Copies of this chain bind each other. A is one copy, B any other.
Amino acid sequence: MIKQYIQNNQDRFLDELFSLIRIPSISAKPEHKSDMVACAEHWKELLLKSGADKAEVMQTKGNPVVFGEKIINPEYPTVLVYAHYDVMPAEPLELWKSSPFEAEIRDGHIWARGANDDKGQSYIQAKAFETMVKNDLLKVNVKFLFEGEEEIGSPSLEEFCAAHKEMLKADVILVSDTGMVSKDQPSITTGLRGLAYWQIDVVGPNKDLHSGIFGGAVANPINVLCKMIADVTDADGHITIPHFYDDILPVSQDERDMIAQVPHTDEAYMKALDVNALFGEKGYSTLERTWIRPTFDVCGIWGGYQGEGSKTVLPSEAHAKISSRLVPGQDHEKIGELVKKYFEEVAPDYVKVNVTSMHGGESYVCPITLPAYKAAEAAYQKVFGVRPLAVRSGGSIPIIAAFERVLGMKSVLMGFGLESDAIHSPNENFSLDLFTKGIETVCEFYNEFAKK
């Protein structure tokens, strides 16, 4: 019945999606302010048309949020669908094969800015919801939260969530903004890394010195900074700061086995980056190193003479910006303090060292034993015929961690994008087949989740 409804209504679904794409809701550009409002208003209408009992455009300190809901029965479990209606700028325009804001269907794909990220993916949610409602299959309550600032870092959403906790209350958040490892191998992103960031300033003598007259007797701040940085990682790529790894949540063998099934070869990876070898923490694969292990990377360093030619100087100061990607269990504020304290303690007495904790972000993990995760897993299995892999992402989506912190809810990241979809680039696209299968999968998720 689900498959049939989707097939029968596909043309209309696409027409509606294209009407959404036609509004250039580019959050990064102030001149599109009215488009943001128009897009939010249009979404409100589309949600109501899709079967929501109510939908409204709500103010934030930035672009408005669209909220909608259908409460079938207060006793039923509730799903909060999160997505975003803003898109990235389309430049460089000359590289597009068709107009970025006039969607075109070509070679079985939808081509447009937002075709995947996130208008296409969010429309999967709206139309799965409609399919369930119109066929009287929905046995869960559904709420929608669509924001208009995801591409600029969601600066207003956390405050909005904090102010509307009761309205947003649900059992789980469903996020449609990620990808799958390949078109035949679905995957669900279960973990995101967090981040801690520091600036370290090392000051030696009170002015730049003549390296002939003073060199050898006065500690050189650049040499000292290099030593302090070098000491943080050992030959096996382990971070030596005491207690750095203490709070990391273990990753199950089942999850590591799934990571090992993700298509990846070090050879292709190295070739793409033009490096002759990889280096990372001993005992972990390349994907594990980027997904389930923390890092210690110098993002920037500077001091002394950096111009052409040679100038002999024993500089007064040296500076570095350093970040650690963190993994579930590691608290970014605790790690921030730990590293700051470590540097201050190892600082030799012949220099002054100042460490400033800059911004940080929590990591996120969705346990693969979570009922909503199990429901998602079963839904993919049914539609794609294979078990989806639980994978992780090395990057951070701060709002997902904020949802957990502010609303106390876990998120399940059911995405249908592919690497080849070129999100944020010219010729963004989305597979029509995955658009359809996505709708079907989300419908099956509702069915499975209702059973939990």
Contacts and interface: CB of A to CB of B under 8 A. Distances in A.
A173 interface: no
A370 interface: no
A92 interface: no
A295 to B, nearest CB: 4
A216 B300 contact: no
Q: Among the interface residues A214, A293, A309, A352, which one has the most CB atoms of the partner chain B within 10 A?
A: A214
Contacts of A281: 216
A348 interface: yes
Contacts of A352: 276
B275 A350 contact: yes
A303 B300 contact: yes
A132 to B, nearest CB: 35
Contacts of A199: 310
A63 to B, nearest CB: 23
A334 to B, nearest CB: 18
B205 A275 contact: yes
A213 B290 contact: yes
Given A195-B212, A230-B231, A350-B276, A297 B217 contact: no
Contacts of A21: none
Contact of A212 (B231, B279, B293, B394): B394
A166 B286 CA distance: 69
Contact of A216 (B231, B273, B290): B290
B348 A279 contact: yes
Contact of A318 (B209, B222, B301): B301
A93 interface: no
Contact of A297 (B223, B227, B277, B320): B223
B310 A299 contact: yes
A30 to B, nearest CB: 21
Contact of A217 (B205, B278, B349): B278
A394 B323 contact: no
A315 interface: yes
A267 to B, nearest CB: 14
Contacts of A230: 223, 226-227, 229-231
A144 B321 CA distance: 56
B394 A215 contact: yes
A148 to B, nearest CB: 24
Contacts of A351: 275
A88 B229 CA distance: 42
Interface string A183-226: 00000000001010101000011100111111111111011011
Given A210-B395, A222-B297, 11 more contacts: A195-B212, A206-B273, A213-B395, A215-B323, A217-B289, A218-B273, A218-B275, A220-B297, A300-B306, A300-B313, A311-B321
